[in-house]
Amino acid sequence: MKPPAIGLDFGTTNSAIALVGPDGRSRLARFDRFDRFEGAGPNDEALETFRSVLYFEEDEEDGRVHVHSGPNAIARYLASEEKQGRLVQSLKSFLASRLFTATQVMGRTYRLEDLIALLLKPLREQAEQRFGVPVERIVAGRPVHFVGADEPADEELALRRLTAALHNAGFREVTFEYEPVGAAYHYEQGLGRDELILIADFGGGTSDFSLLRVGPSFSDGGDRAQSILGHDGVGLAGDVFDGQLVRHLVAPRLGRGAEFRSVMGNNVLPVPGWIYGHLERWHHVSLLKSPKTLRLLLDLRREALEPEKLDALIHVVRNDLGFLLYGATEAAKRALSEDTKTTFRFEHESVAIAALLPRTRFEQWIAEPLEAIARCVDRLLHRAGVADTEIDRVFLTGGTSLVPAVRAIFLERFGPERVRSGGELTSVASGLALRAAEG
Ligand SMILES: Nc1ncnc2c1ncn2[C@@H]1O[C@H](COP(=O)(O)OP(=O)(O)OP(=O)(O)O)[C@@H](O)[C@H]1O
Ligand SMILES: [Mg+2]
């Protein structure tokens, strides 16, 4: 008997897993909904995705550390009043980082691959329950370029660690496939004729592109290897857009660019920029909560010309509000996918930030990453020797493809009649399962 065909998309923000049934169609595993989710990212409404997040908390009675994964992690985090636990996120974006080998969480050391395994094991077990078949042999997605990978050795490191994490999570046999190729398989379903397509998958951490031929001649046993004309990608996507919102909208209200008197004399100096660098990658906010940094912030506050901004910053750091801050920036970003303006709001006890945000301003802030994305598409087409006019269709997928300025790059370049989109959060997993079914 053929083993079940299963595809896993381990994403920076969301993960999903799909199985191809006897009818040849892929279906997604569904995960329990935790209803008291107000304030969590709106993605949690989607039952077919599993948030790529861990929450560590200590049992008040026996002092043991419990680790929660996915929707459970968000629910526990939100339920905890003191927020003494530790939320760990965007793990995928550290895979290529030589600096991140292991981290201490509540007195224990975890390697990156251990953390990812802790995240994926419950996902695997829940999928097994839903599907009623062993979830051990899979086709797993990988980005074309991992975030922060500058050279081939970094890509190799990332893949090695991802493989180890998957094995530790109980996926015994893993075949990797590029994530945009997964999306291509999804797109190809039901296609009546062959097409040359450009697949663009915009996630949380990476933007990935593939140029390939799809359609009946390829899906009916044709040579797939011949169908792929090229891949490219950049480690820039939704997380970087969120970071820009923090930089331009939030950080100035928490003292970025504000000045303090230097102890050494009458100089007036700005608050050190590295502090705000951590805020921009909101899952790094917890790193600021060390006694040393808190002392520095308190010293700065004493000398600050605008102490109330430093008070707000200290409040955010002390209460480890990175996740709430992210929730607020992400909500504003999503609102701007629908409307041309929105109001950014962030509130926690004494800190309240509200600011009107027109879409045009957001688009100015993300202009640089958008250009890098457009250049990446140029590079791919150029290397493959394919002219824009030869492309039959562009398929946009991934959560960040919902950002109008991202779509605009393709609408302008290829014309609306050639641009398609869909399956933003699930097309990769569903396509990887179809790929697994091909053997
Ligand atoms: N309506 C929306 N408008 C703008 N951005 C959105 C919207 N919905 C989701 N996103 C963004 O999409 C990203 C998540 O997309 P997705 O789930 O495709 O990523 P991922 O697969 O987890 O990441 P990666 O593929 O980079 O590993 C997040 O940055 C999220 O903020
Ligand atoms: Mg993805």
pLDDT band with cut points at 50, 70 and 90 for residue 100 = confident
Determine the pLDDT at residue 420.
Answer: 97
- Sequence-distant (6+) residues with CB within 8 A of 424 are 397, 398, 399, 401, 402
For the chain, the C-alpha Rg in angstroms (whole number) is: 23
How confident is the prediction for the chain on average, in pLDDT?
90
Residue 142, classed as helix, strand or coil, is strand
Question: Is there a domain that residue 233 lies in?
Answer: no
pLDDT band with cut points at 50, 70 and 90 for residue 265 = low
Question: Is there a domain that residue 172 lies in?
Answer: yes
Query: What is the reported pTM?
Result: 0.92
pLDDT band with cut points at 50, 70 and 90 for residue 53 = very high
- Which ligand 1 atom minimizes the distance to the CA of 336? 3
User: What average pLDDT does this structure show over 142-168?
Assistant: 96
With the most atoms of ligand 1 within 8 angstroms of its CB, the residue from 147, 333, 365 to mutate is 333
Question: Is there a domain that residue 66 lies in?
Answer: yes
Inter-residue contact 55 to 79 (CB < 8 Å): no
Question: Is there a domain that residue 273 lies in?
Answer: no
The 10 Å CB-count burial string (b at 16+, else e) for 201-234 is: bbbbbbbbbbbbbbbeebbeeeebeebbbbbbbb
- Which ligand 1 atom minimizes the distance to the CA of 238? 29
Q: Give the range of the structural domain holding residue 125, as residue numbers without chain letter.
A: 5-192+424-438
Nearest to 46 by CA among 11, 86, 98, 7: 11
Which residue in this structure is represented by tokens 């997604």? 28
Whether the CB of 141 sits within 6 Å of ligand 1 = no
Question: Is there a domain that residue 248 lies in?
Answer: no
Distance CA 402, CA 392 (A): 21
Going from the C-alpha of 431 to that of each of 81, 140, 175, 408, the distances in angstroms are 40, 10, 14, 25
User: Model confidence over 190-229: pLDDT tens digits?
Assistant: 899 999 999 999 999 999 999 999 999 888 776 777 888 9
Ligand approaching nearest to the C-alpha of 53 = 1
Nearest to 15 by CA among 75, 89, 85, 95: 89
Determine the pLDDT at residue 336.
Answer: 98
User: Model confidence over 401-414: pLDDT tens digits?
Assistant: 999 999 999 999 99
Q: Assess whether pLDDT exceeds 80 at residue 282.
A: no
Q: Assess whether pLDDT exceeds 70 at residue 45.
A: no
Going from the C-alpha of 210 to that of each of 69, 117, 213, 309, the distances in angstroms are 31, 28, 10, 45
Element at 78 (helix H, strand E)? helix 71-79
| Cα of 261 from ligand 2 centre, angstroms | 46
User: What average pLDDT does this structure show over 160-187?
Assistant: 97
- Which ligand 1 atom minimizes the distance to the CA of 92? 27
Inter-residue contact 127 to 169 (CB < 8 Å): no
> What interhelical angle do 238-245 and 367-384 show, nearest 10?
160
Q: Assess whether pLDDT exceeds 50 at residue 42.
A: no
More confident residue, 226 or 433: 433
Determine the pLDDT at residue 136.
Answer: 96
Distance CA 165, CA 91 (A): 11
Residue 175 pairs in a beta bridge with 139
User: Rounded to 5 degrees, what are φ and ψ at 380?
Assistant: -60, -45
Give the range with max mean pLDDT: 83-87, 90-94, 320-324: 90-94
Distance CA 57, CA 322 (A): 17
Question: Is there a domain that residue 363 lies in?
Answer: no
Whether the CB of 180 sits within 6 Å of ligand 1 = no
- Which ligand 1 atom minimizes the distance to the CA of 241? 29
Q: For the chain, how long is the longest CA-to-CA vector?
A: 80
pLDDT band with cut points at 50, 70 and 90 for residue 83 = low
Question: Is there a domain that residue 219 lies in?
Answer: no
Distance CA 364, CA 244 (A): 10
The 10 Å CB-count burial string (b at 16+, else e) for 97-110 is: beebeebebbeeeb
pLDDT above 90 coverage of the chain, percent: 69
**Residue nearest to ligand 1 atom 2, measured at CA:** 334
pLDDT band with cut points at 50, 70 and 90 for residue 287 = confident
Distance CA 11, CA 16 (A): 8
**Residue nearest to ligand 1 atom 1, measured at CA:** 334
Residue 138 pairs in a beta bridge with 174
Inter-residue contact 239 to 228 (CB < 8 Å): no
Give the range with max mean pLDDT: 96-110, 274-288, 393-407: 393-407
Inter-residue contact 216 to 192 (CB < 8 Å): yes
Domains held by the chain: number: 1
Distance CA 313, CA 113 (A): 32
Determine the pLDDT at residue 306.
Answer: 87
Residue 328, classed as helix, strand or coil, is helix
Nearest to 78 by CA among 323, 281, 286: 323
Distance CA 285, CA 88 (A): 11
Determine the pLDDT at residue 275.
Answer: 87
pLDDT band with cut points at 50, 70 and 90 for residue 286 = confident
| Cα of 220 from ligand 1 centre, angstroms | 32
Give the range with max mean pLDDT: 130-134, 261-265, 297-301: 130-134
Question: Is there a domain that residue 331 lies in?
Answer: no
CATH number at residue 59: 3.30.420.40
Whether the CB of 238 sits within 6 Å of ligand 1 = yes
Determine the pLDDT at residue 37.
Answer: 43
Whether the CB of 402 sits within 6 Å of ligand 1 = yes
| Cα of 291 from ligand 2 centre, angstroms | 36
| Cα of 203 from ligand 2 centre, angstroms | 5
